[in-house]
Structure 1
């Protein structure tokens, strides 16, 4: 919104310069985008009156004039403007004047005739040219007065960005209120005198929609629609970005910018019968003032007479009832339209009008009568006319309600983070136009003014107090957090688990939690399945005790359809109903299960299919456990449904969390499957939280020593490796098995196991004696415990 600074200062005039005023508005939330001067700087231009005009003897297009500028002898000025004439008043740039663009006026000769200055058009003094020729001033313009003073050119055009919640500031009145509050000054509004009715003519107004709680209308006859718009009004509108039209349109626009209330004047002779405010009928059409014909819907509110729709309410008038030069009678409208009944309608037709912009945000519902009186006053002064009474149609039940808001000091202090004196709070809210009742010290009951739709809860009031106190005064402080922070922990998430398994080549299966009782028995003869009272089908009749009873049928289904390589995983619940007497005793155990048949890798051109074995499966489950930051150990499994030599229990901290291995060959035969590898682990054991730790890598070299042991083949590698790690001491960094040999040179009951031992110190280089001591200790313990001996090379 653009407004004139000087016009604003007629309402409230704080003792501050333009720059400070601009900053104040911005800090109040009314951001000033630009503040441009009304005209660029220039000097030496005054009001002059043309006394004589004669033809230049040597130039057809030039005239020799004498001009009175109020300093004694008239000036002789040669002028080429086509509209120069005797008696007119126009700007005169005297000798020594400096016009915009650093154009200096000097005494000179034009075709031999001396010229003592220059008569100016509008563009010469940085105004808009409306005619080809001189800028014609009013007949009563005082001769000799500086043109900047006369045309009020020492002014600024303030361009303010109004936020959607501050519709009350779309006017001089609204902005002046804000400046008055922040500077603690009274706002001086123009004296508005109600124009008494001189005739009895009035229109019957019928409101048929709740979207218009208040509608005012007035018949004015014998209006001079050809009356000129006064220069002060034209200038004020121009600086607000509104072009001059006719006296009646200019007056309604002036009141719009001044007070913020949209008005509309209909040609009274074109309004037939009563005036209706109603919803449009489906497919009803109206031609608007911009010559655009629109088809309406029943959610559009219109102003209509007995015959047709005359205007879209709150948006734009219709062409059929528009004012022309022949108009002598008008019907003046001033109304309050509910924001929700206007919002979005203008954009639907590609329109954006000053009226819709304000009604969408909310116009003060107490303003229509004030604006009607102001417009009537200006029409009477500038265009004359006979005025009928003001007709009011309203439904108070649909008017916005201004409910009291309870506020207390503790709420203010808590929300702002610092304390503001209660006297300032009372004063600030009162100056904002609120009705403030002090209930007790630090307690208020506040009724917002009718123009502030954005104040509805106590937080809004506190925001207003902070705004008036000044955002710069808000104290900066760090929040006090009286909590003990828990140690940060990472966690292996289910999504990461799924991604790891998919990367390993498995596809997720999602199945029922029910299974076939026969398959449950095949997997574990000791289980007593818990039967469902009303099963979906016979093969989904019991609660599954293992996810394998769901995955095996999936594998069978795929194998029977020529899919030789199948790899599935499932994350779901299995049910432990051992010792369960009822459904309430049933234990639900989140579980991860994996199943694989076929080759290790898919067939391709660069590698032959390899048969999958136990160690391939173990490597895959170790990748899953490594992603979960879990270190596991493995011991042979004794589960009846697993191959006794190709299966293992998975131990974490000595406790089994699941198993892996091949199905028992007899079970594979019963299920008509080939070699089938399975894994089933407790999901909670995998999805554990962990704290990431980093140990700095040693900058010193490591030393590797290898040992080959002859040892009884009934001793597990896990036991031997644990003994080496426990005996090697702090300098032993890691150890691993890299060779197993049986055959020639090794007794039948024994085997050769070769281990690599890596030694390293974090802060220094190791000495040979330290490594030798460690090796000797390990060999001695191995010999004592397992009767192991070093194998000769």
Structure 2
């Protein structure tokens, strides 16, 4: 938003100089991005009138002009501007003047002809970028009058960067309202009165777009003079706002948009056929826009049309066929309210960004269309004449936005801001923002004005209060430095403990993205119950990871592709799965290994890492739980990404805590990996509980060892055997060792032999041989019953 400082000061009393105003705007959230000073060095520049002009005797492109400047005698000026002509009034820099660019005006001879001054373009004077010719001044400008006085200079063109939630400041009225609240000063804006109706031209208006256009107003002004000039004051305000004057009709609509914040559009009424209809475009409907662009529309676009053809893309740009021209005598003025959702993003789809779309997609006050239409009608009649017809239009009151009452609690305001503001001051600030305010026992109730779309909840009112009060008034408090430290429970392993243990085993920690590619999860068979992102950064990061392993394997692949033959990685992180009401987030530990079992060395032969190497690494982690009897492994119900003969479930007290093993050959092939990749995955909530150590006296009584060899099926695991023996012997079994496994000749297919050592000990007495023999017999009986084992002969 760019505007003239003088224009702003005409709308509101500002008891501050320019620097204070700029600082206050920025501190209130209307950040000043640029300030262009206009007319700072225009002493000696006056209004001059060319009363005679003759060709230069020695230069084809120069003229020798006689210029009247209100002095005792006319001045002779040599000028090369193409528009220099008799009767033209233009700025004249007299001898001794210094122009904004540092040019000092002196008497000079140009091709032998004396020149006593310089006729200037707008660019040379620093008031515009136009350097195509002399700046043409109104014919009624007083000859010899100071040029700065004529243009209302000096001035400043101020540009502010508005956040999307402040569309109310995209017009001078809204900006003035905000400045008045900031300085607690008087607003000098009078709502426009209704234009006297002296014409009868009328046209039906129909709304067929539902809530997308709840209000559409218009008026026909007949018999205007299209050649009427735009007054200098209006042209200058447009220029200082960054708009170039075009014609009186266009300039009036642009000026009213800048003044009120309500975009308008003017149609050539003689080119319209029948009623005005606001509707959605038909699929493939074509339209040629004002800039000559031909667009093909879809039903998501809102159209202004007549009964024959589309006229404009609503809220974005008008069509060429119905545009006003130099021959337009009858104008249909449009002023409407469009829902922001009906305009947002549509201009970008057409490769456009217009002043109208910039405002409508952020939100325009629904009460502005009538005021803006009355203001534009009055200006157009004043400048170009014509007869104003009756106010036309249609509206859907039920679809117009309604501002709801918002409560502000005194205690909440003080808690958020960290300071106490007097109740009367808060009430005054909210009223200054044109809210309807009601005091309550615990604070205030405020109904925002129709132009404040951004005030919807208590936090919005808190922001408005401190914005007007001043952020600089928030006290600065140094932190006390007192931190409430929470002790880590001893009965729970910290992730750091797990990471340090794996690092000691030669693993490196990896941190992978929490998002993965959906196709990758399909390869793993993990694409069920996933959490897809509504707005992913890319297709490769479209789904929240349901497991750490896909990302960790990708990291392994990248390392292998960079000549790292031996890779050990682990990751601690969260995984996500779809839940009934919200995604379920859990913590996991994952580890991968590939390559040689040991780093390159000479002490033992090289071999590839295998299941038992990874199991050993995992068991070192499980040992941190100080609960060795709780953990077990079996080969039941393995996930299909594990090799069926080289994988195991990890259980704690019979509850599945994770999986370990070699990746399935099908998966390694799909991922373009070499065989022999080992992986492990554990759920941290099951892994982290730790048994606290308890000191116990060492038994004073000796232990007894008995060895036992049994023959059983090869399908029975050592874990089942161990569990059976421990459950049978209970506290008397101090330790159970397996020291031999045999399968082959003498046993038959599918049979094996396990030799184990039973270390027996009692805390209250010395065990006799009879006691030890009884323990062996009990263990053998239990193995025969539960594991179908028999004593090996």
Task: With the length of structure 1 as denominator, give the TM-score of the two structures.
Answer: 0.67
Question: Which aligned pairs between 1:578-617 and structure 2 lie closer than 5 A?
Answer: 589=655
Aligned to 1:422: 423
- Cα 1:502–1:144 shift into 2, 3 Å: same
Q: 8 Å contact 1:642–1:662 — kept in the other structure?
A: no
Aligned to 1:106: 106
Aligned to 1:155: 155
Question: Which aligned pairs between 1:729-744 and structure 2 lie closer than 5 A?
Answer: none
Quote how far apart the aligned CAs of 1:673 are: 7.5
Quote how far apart the aligned CAs of 1:410 are: 1.0
Aligned to 2:361: 360
Aligned to 1:216: 217
Provide Cα deviations, 1:295-339, integer angstroms capped at 9, x if missing partner.
Answer: 222222111111222111111111221112222222111111111
Q: Distance in 2 between matches of 1:130 and 1:158?
A: 19
Q: 8 Å contact 1:121–1:129 — kept in the other structure?
A: no
Q: 2:750 aligns with which of 657, 662, 672?
A: 672
Quote how far apart the aligned CAs of 1:363 are: 0.3
1:71 aligns with 2:71: yes
Quote how far apart the aligned CAs of 1:69 are: 2.2
Instruction: Pick which of 391-400 and 446-455 moved more.
Output: 391-400
- Cα 1:138–1:283 shift into 2, 3 Å: same
Aligned to 1:119: 119
Quote how far apart the aligned CAs of 1:288 are: 1.6
Q: Distance in 2 between matches of 1:151 and 1:76?
A: 25
Quote how far apart the aligned CAs of 1:359 are: 0.8
Aligned to 2:463: 463
Aligned to 1:547: 633
Aligned to 1:86: 86
Quote how far apart the aligned CAs of 1:402 are: 1.4
Q: Secondary structure at the match of 1:10?
A: helix
- Select the structure of larger CA radius of gyration: 1
Aligned to 1:451: 451
Q: Distance in 2 between matches of 1:477 and 1:671?
A: 81
Quote how far apart the aligned CAs of 1:203 are: 1.0
- Cα 1:420–1:76 shift into 2, 3 Å: same
Aligned to 1:523: none
Aligned to 2:350: 349
Question: Which aligned pairs between 1:358-437 and structure 2 lie closer than 5 A?
Answer: 358-437=359-438
Q: Distance in 1 between matches of 2:643 and 2:97?
A: 101
1:570 aligns with 2:649: yes
Q: Distance in 2 between matches of 1:220 and 1:552?
A: 82
Q: 8 Å contact 2:90–2:137 — kept in the other structure?
A: yes
Q: Distance in 1 between matches of 2:23 and 2:247?
A: 36
Q: Secondary structure at the match of 2:359?
A: helix
Instruction: Pick which of 224-233 and 256-265 moved more.
Output: 224-233
Runs of 5+ unmatched residues, structure 1 = 511-543, 560-565, 576-588, 597-624, 679-713, 717-793
Q: 8 Å contact 1:509–1:551 — kept in the other structure?
A: no
Q: Secondary structure at the match of 1:436?
A: strand
- Cα 1:143–1:204 shift into 2, 3 Å: same
Aligned to 1:299: 300
Aligned to 2:517: none
Q: Distance in 1 between matches of 2:734 and 2:323?
A: 87
Q: Distance in 2 between matches of 1:23 and 1:657?
A: 81
Q: Distance in 1 between matches of 2:253 and 2:706?
A: 94
- Cα 1:414–1:191 shift into 2, 3 Å: closer
Aligned to 2:142: 142
Q: Distance in 1 between matches of 2:639 and 2:321?
A: 80
Quote how far apart the aligned CAs of 1:463 are: 0.9
Question: Which aligned pairs between 1:606-645 and structure 2 lie closer than 5 A?
Answer: none
1:277 aligns with 2:278: yes
Question: Which aligned pairs between 1:200-279 and structure 2 lie closer than 5 A?
Answer: 200-209=200-209, 210-279=211-280
Q: Secondary structure at the match of 2:253?
A: helix
Q: 8 Å contact 2:40–2:154 — kept in the other structure?
A: no
- Cα 1:279–1:479 shift into 2, 3 Å: farther
Quote how far apart the aligned CAs of 1:231 are: 1.7
Q: 8 Å contact 2:736–2:759 — kept in the other structure?
A: no
Q: 8 Å contact 1:90–1:136 — kept in the other structure?
A: yes
Q: Secondary structure at the match of 1:226?
A: coil
Task: With the length of structure 2 as denominator, give the TM-score of the two structures.
Answer: 0.67
Q: 8 Å contact 1:284–1:297 — kept in the other structure?
A: yes
Q: 8 Å contact 2:49–2:87 — kept in the other structure?
A: yes
Q: Secondary structure at the match of 1:77?
A: strand
- Cα 1:659–1:190 shift into 2, 3 Å: farther
Q: Distance in 1 between matches of 2:635 and 2:121?
A: 98
Q: 8 Å contact 1:643–1:664 — kept in the other structure?
A: no
Q: Distance in 2 between matches of 1:595 and 1:56?
A: 98
Quote how far apart the aligned CAs of 1:553 are: 13
Q: Secondary structure at the match of 2:142?
A: coil
Q: Distance in 1 between matches of 2:12 and 2:239?
A: 21
Aligned to 1:584: none
Q: Distance in 2 between matches of 1:387 and 1:396?
A: 26
Provide Cα deviations, 1:572-606, integer angstroms capped at 9, x if missing partner.
Answer: 3553xxxxxxxxxxxxx46689899xxxxxxxxxx
Runs of 5+ unmatched residues, structure 2 = 500-570, 573-587, 598-608, 615-629, 663-686, 711-715, 761-793
Question: Which aligned pairs between 1:496-575 and structure 2 lie closer than 5 A?
Answer: 502=593, 505=609, 547-548=633-634, 550=636, 568-572=647-651, 575=654
- Cα 1:637–1:405 shift into 2, 3 Å: farther
Q: Secondary structure at the match of 1:144?
A: coil
- Cα 1:632–1:88 shift into 2, 3 Å: same
Q: Secondary structure at the match of 1:486?
A: coil
Q: Distance in 1 between matches of 2:26 and 2:65?
A: 50
Q: Secondary structure at the match of 2:26?
A: helix
Quote how far apart the aligned CAs of 1:353 are: 1.1
Q: Distance in 2 between matches of 1:179 and 1:677?
A: 92
Q: Distance in 1 between matches of 2:399 and 2:613?
A: 60
Aligned to 2:188: 188
Quote how far apart the aligned CAs of 1:67 are: 2.7
Q: Secondary structure at the match of 2:453?
A: coil
- Cα 1:317–1:572 shift into 2, 3 Å: farther
Quote how far apart the aligned CAs of 1:643 are: 8.7
Quote how far apart the aligned CAs of 1:474 are: 1.1
Q: Distance in 2 between matches of 1:657 and 1:412?
A: 67
Q: 8 Å contact 2:13–2:186 — kept in the other structure?
A: no
Q: Secondary structure at the match of 1:175?
A: helix
Q: Distance in 2 between matches of 1:127 and 1:659?
A: 97
Quote how far apart the aligned CAs of 1:226 are: 2.2
Quote how far apart the aligned CAs of 1:145 are: 2.3
Quote how far apart the aligned CAs of 1:40 are: 6.3
- Cα 1:90–1:429 shift into 2, 3 Å: same
Q: Distance in 1 between matches of 2:60 and 2:639?
A: 110
Instruction: Pick which of 364-373 and 109-118 moved more.
Output: 109-118
Aligned to 1:741: none
Q: 8 Å contact 2:191–2:371 — kept in the other structure?
A: no
Q: 8 Å contact 1:220–1:331 — kept in the other structure?
A: yes
Q: 8 Å contact 1:595–1:676 — kept in the other structure?
A: no
The size of the alignment, in residue pairs, is: 592
